[in-house]
């Protein structure tokens, strides 16, 4: 979900349409259908697939690619405060531009 905080706060929740019947009576926030309308599986030419699951699949594929690339040693450092937590900060030339060099 996404939280909008201001004078009033609203919690927007995107749900898999296939589980909505099981959530009757629950107050989960304001339900939206944004990703369900924007995402489809590549193989779906009829535009009838579950858009929420297509979005989840795309997010998981992106995370898997990031893990695979990092695991192969291809890392593009972005110096910042997080450098103090990085395991390779002592050998990373970018860490001197971000967090403390330890």
Residue 11 · residue 27 · CB < 8 Å: no
**In whole angstroms, what is the distance from residue 32 CA to residue 10 CA?**
12
Tens digit of each residue's pLDDT, the chain (102 residues): 666 677 888 888 888 889 989 988 888 888 888 888 888 888 888 878 888 899 999 999 999 998 898 888 777 777 777 777 777 777 776 655 544 544
Q: What is the dihedral of CA 93, 94, 100, 102, to 10 degrees?
A: -30
Query: Terminal CA-to-CA distance of the chain, rounded, Å?
Result: 37
pLDDT of residue 28: 85
């Amino acid at each position: 979900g996404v939280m909008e905080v201001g004078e009033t706060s609203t919690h927007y929740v995107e749900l898999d349409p296939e589980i909505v019947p099981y959530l009757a009576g629950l107050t989960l926030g304001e339900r939206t259908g944004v990703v369900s309308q924007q995402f489809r599986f590549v193989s779906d030419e009829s535009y009838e697939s579950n858009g929420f699951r297509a979005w989840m699949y795309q997010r998981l594929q992106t995370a898997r690619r990031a893990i695979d690339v990092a695991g192969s040693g291809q890392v593009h450092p972005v110096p910042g405060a997080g450098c103090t937590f990085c395991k390779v900060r002592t050998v990373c030339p970018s860490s001197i531009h971000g967090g403390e060099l330890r």
